[in-house]
Copies of this chain bind each other. A is one copy, B any other.
Amino acid sequence: MSLTGKVLIAQGGGPTAVINQTLVGIVLEARKYPQVTKVYGAVKGVEGIVSEEFLDLTQETTHNLEQVALTPSSALLSTRVKPDSKYCHEIFKVLKAHDVRYFFYIGGNDSADTVRIVNEEAKLANYEMRAIHVPKTIDNDLVINDHTPGYGSAARFVAQAFMGANLDVRALSGIYIGVVMGRNAGFLTAASVIAQKYPEDGPHLIYLPEREFSIDKFLNDVKQIYDRTGVCVVALSEGIRDTSGTPIVASLLKDIEVDAHGNSTLSGTGALGDLLTKEIKEKLKISRVRCDTFGYLQRSFMGCVSDVDQHEAREVGERAVQIALWKNVDGSVAIERTGYYSVDYRLVELAEVAGKTKLMPDEFINTAGNHVTDAFKYYVRPLLGSGLPSPSLLRAPKVPKLLRND
């Protein structure tokens, strides 16, 4: 029989476009059960737990919850704190004091590890409590999961951005580089491939953290495409690294003694793109080279969301509550692909997910290490959802010249 007591929900790490779907899925499902005395939300993730900053979500209207579900970024606010054992002990003390019997933490692999440690604290203290990790991350780097809530919407933003980049570069020629988030895993950068509709469409080159990045090879790749077509659209992960595993942004910045960009923050700076732009201009003598660093736009842009991602994010929250309340077990909810395209959810051990990082598998990356395969396109397309815009080009015939022949 399931426990009687409070539910506590927290959101951790970087925001996603659908993380509040999961929050609302948990709240609305939890409010149905008589064993659940209250549903609390921790403000600023684990920070809010240790400081007892809770909102009583039992006293929030269903209508406003539904509106919040459509709003990107963590409605309960978030934190970058990664709790150690001592911090987890503090968390546990607060949970116990408030009679929290169900703890749901929405986050990535670090959050899964926090849930694991807090759960062990509870067991040691003989405190009966269910602890469930609910997945989210735009990086799509959780092991076991086919993919993670948040990824589909960010991937959709990246695909739509590259559709626009293709059209913009086509109109005025030159080179375009789009720098995409992803410190270790290249899934988000790879999603740019969905922008390819017509044969000449970019991205012509895709660079991922899973493959060594060489400036010389990069310049050579760009030159080959540009010489042939007069344009080149490049999707590039902020996490690309050299042979030694050092992020390119760090080594490049050191080489040219620019320290204006701080401690090699990968996001929120145009450094990497600007430096590659400079390399192309100087070494390939191409004048029109433009770069956009997508930065925070890609994870919180209001109005670019995958309906598939929304539905799954909602369902994974709802399912987490059902597992905890009906089955009375702990763990991490994982998304399994069951068809093309359908999913189901299952509970896995916290230790299976906690602290581990999934990378792009080899079959998703081409042999040259500068693009992705059809297997990846097949994998990623359903996640971007329905109603994806699709550019169209003119196909009218050319008119014969009257004054000149060339």
Contact = CB atoms under 8 A, between A and B. Distances in A.
Given A171-B78, A274-B261, A406-B51, A295 B303 contact: no
A72 interface: yes
A215 to B, nearest CB: 15
Can you tell how many copies of this chain the complex includes?
Answer: 2
Given A281-B262, A402-B52, A296 B301 contact: no
Given A78-B171, A303-B389, A396 B164 contact: no
A56 B398 contact: yes
Contacts of A290: 267-268, 295-296
A290 to B, nearest CB: 3
A59 B297 CA distance: 40
A109 B317 CA distance: 53
Nearest to A402: B97
A397 B78 contact: no
B172 A80 contact: yes
Given A15-B167, A80-B172, A394-B76, A297 B161 contact: yes
Interface in A204-229: none
Contacts of A14: 172
A240 to B, nearest CB: 17
A70 to B, nearest CB: 7
A258 interface: yes
Interface stretch (A60-68, A117-125, A369-377): A60-68
A275 B404 CA distance: 50
A281 B302 CA distance: 28
A273 B295 CA distance: 12
Nearest to A162: B302
A177 to B, nearest CB: 9
Nearest to A74: B171
Contacts of A192: none
Given A60-B395, A73-B171, 9 more contacts: A15-B171, A40-B399, A51-B406, A71-B392, A164-B300, A165-B300, A262-B278, A262-B281, A270-B293
Interface of A: 14-15, 40-41, 51-57, 59-60, 64, 67-68, 70-80, 93-94, 97-98, 160-161, 163-165, 167-168, 170-172, 176, 256, 258, 260-262, 267-271, 273-275, 277-278, 281, 289-297, 299-304, 388-399, 401-404, 406
4 A-B pairs closest in CB distance: A270-B270, A73-B167, A268-B290, A67-B392
